[in-house]
A and B are shown apart, each in its own frame.
Chain A
Amino acid sequence: MAEKTVKLKIKRQTGPNTESHWDEFEIPWKPGMNVISAMMDIAANPVTKDGKQTTPIAYDSNCLEEICGSCAMLINGKAKMACSALVDHFEQPITVEPLSKFPIVRDLAVDRSVLFENLKKVKAWVPVDGTYDLGSGPRITPQQQEQSYPLSNCISCTICMEVCPQFNEGTGFVGAATISQVALFNDHPTGAVLKEERLHALMGDGGIHECGFAQNCVESCPKEIPLTRSISRVAGQVMIQSIKDIFSS
């Protein structure tokens, strides 16, 4: 067997409440291979290293170019986007596990709906729906665009939450992604109408105060979003809001 191969060790479980186990695979190497394409090759021939027939691996993925945010998983122990995780950059066997802080659906597919719930709680949108045409919105200055654009790059991959020591079942911390979206929509001239509500939401249990400033979020964000800057800015807005509340409620 002179052919170059790729060894993968994948943590699997058939359903939300079943025991997990590890399957090892050894598949032919291809140039430019990434973890998702490796799992596609496994799906084409789902046989483990020991020759045991198995099922294709279940995982979420879509765009395969690190823009949809679906395929976050633990690769060699670290949360990464599987589509941009080139196998040549990892020590083998490459271990692949589901994100550890989200309920498992099957194999590597996890339920990350908590992020969507959090985004709804902070009203992370610009309210423009209505019964008549509101006309064009206010102009956004180029300087503001420069600040907002990086925040709009969030792909909801939840890596910032997975790597956060404060994001767990004990704290129920909201996580960096949601806080950064609050920064984005509070800055928006039309979105700012909901600013106060967003800040009040972040004062609830599990809110921005749970941040321990370990800064893993900003280190691991695949889109290099300045998450700690967002957290600090929004924390300042929350503090100012809370002081206003003391004197105006």
Chain B
Amino acid sequence: MATAVSPNPKTEHTSGVAPLRAGQGHEFLLRRLHSLSGIIPVGAFLFEHIVVSNAQAINGPTAYANQVRFLGSLPFVLALEIFGIWLPILFHAGYGFYIWYRGQSNLINYPWMGNWMYALQRWTGGIAFAYIIWHTYTMRFTGVDLHDHPGASFGKVQLELFNPAYFAFYVIGLLSASWHFAYGIWLFAAKWGITIGERARQRFLYVCMALFLLISGVGLASITSFRSHQQQPTDPAGAAVVEHSQVK
């Protein structure tokens, strides 16, 4: 069809924003993977980690130990950790920082709600990532190994939560991660063409805010449980006692 051909006076673009590179590059794929990875598996893991597993802290040290033992006993647990959690988080965060770096926030001149959320999504992502790195390092890679001694889990978390600075970091990390996830789902629906209409997006925003309240609420309740119990043992012998005592 001759009419489908672009009228083609080639103009030079030497400065300013480059025109669309139609048919070039792989950023579409990477960007969509970034978006998807935020929900599956990273977001799904966040939900499991806070609303399912760590909520067991509310049922006390032994229930918590049982949950940790169950997770540690999953088949291929290291592969699950590497390919289901660590690499997806590293990809999501790495590409996220790249997106953040290339954006040009302009809140001062355009302080609109969506623009605030745009900035907040980047900051919460950054804070959550800093928290996750520290949290993974202290919980998974230092101190008593919780795969070997699930009974020590409750006490190990308590050691951190009884420190006021770490406690604050937990709360900030929790709120950042749950906000980033909840608003990320909203962004996902808008950017993948699921919530097309203005009102649909408004309604879905309420759903996502409810999810934020759920995750952060359960997370805060779990944190409170850790702090309201006496310090539990973290040594192997004490851990064995915690693990095998009756659930209250």
- Residues of B close to A123: CB separation below 8 A: 4, 6
Known: A122-B22, A232-B190. A169 touches B11 (CB 8 A): no
Known: A194-B4, A203-B28. A118 touches B19 (CB 8 A): yes
- Residues of A close to B198: CB separation below 8 A: 226, 228-229
17 A-B contact pairs sorted by A residue (CB < 8 Å): A78-B110, A121-B20, A161-B17, A163-B106, A165-B115, A174-B20, A204-B20, A204-B28, A205-B28, A206-B19, A206-B21, A207-B22, A212-B118, A213-B191, A219-B112, A229-B198, A233-B193
Q: A212-B99, A232-B201 are in contact. List 13 more A-B contacts (CB 8 A).
A: A123-B4, A168-B102, A172-B17, A173-B17, A205-B27, A212-B103, A213-B114, A232-B190, A232-B194, A232-B196, A235-B193, A239-B192, A242-B28
Interface membership of chain A positions 181-223, coded 1 if the CB is closer than 8 angstroms to chain B and 0 otherwise: 0000000000001100100111111110111111110011000
Residue of A nearest to B112 (CB): A219
- By secondary structure, the B interface counts as loop
Q: Report yes or no: B193 in contact with A172, Cβ–Cβ below 8 A.
A: no
Docked Cα-Cα span, A242 to B117, in Å, equals 28
- Residues of B close to A78: CB separation below 8 A: 109-110
- Give residues in B with beta carbon < 8 Å to A: 1-4, 6-7, 11, 13, 15-28, 31-32, 99, 101-106, 108-110, 112-115, 117-118, 187, 190-198, 201
Docked Cα-Cα span, A168 to B113, in Å, equals 21
Known: A117-B11, A171-B102, A216-B112. A205 touches B193 (CB 8 A): no
Q: Report yes or no: B118 in contact with A165, Cβ–Cβ below 8 A.
A: yes
| B16, B20, B190 — most chain A CB neighbours (10 Å) | B20
Docked Cα-Cα span, A120 to B112, in Å, equals 31
- Residues of A close to B193: CB separation below 8 A: 232-240
- Residues of A close to B21: CB separation below 8 A: 172, 204-206
Residue of A nearest to B30 (CB): A209
| A170 contacts chain B at the CB level, 8 A cutoff | yes
| A77 contacts chain B at the CB level, 8 A cutoff | yes
Q: Report yes or no: A168 in contact with B115, Cβ–Cβ below 8 A.
A: no
Docked Cα-Cα span, A89 to B24, in Å, equals 45
- Residues of A close to B110: CB separation below 8 A: 78, 163, 216, 219-220
Residue of A nearest to B108 (CB): A77
Docked Cα-Cα span, A101 to B109, in Å, equals 14
- Residues of B close to A163: CB separation below 8 A: 106, 109-110
- Residues of B close to A216: CB separation below 8 A: 106, 110, 112, 114-115
Known: A114-B19, A214-B115, A236-B194. A130 touches B106 (CB 8 A): no
Shortest B110–chain A CB gap in Å is: 5
- A-B complex: 5 closest residue pairs judged by Cβ atoms: A236-B193, A215-B114, A205-B25, A214-B118, A201-B22
Shortest B21–chain A CB gap in Å is: 4
Shortest A134–chain B CB gap in Å is: 10
Docked Cα-Cα span, A174 to B17, in Å, equals 9
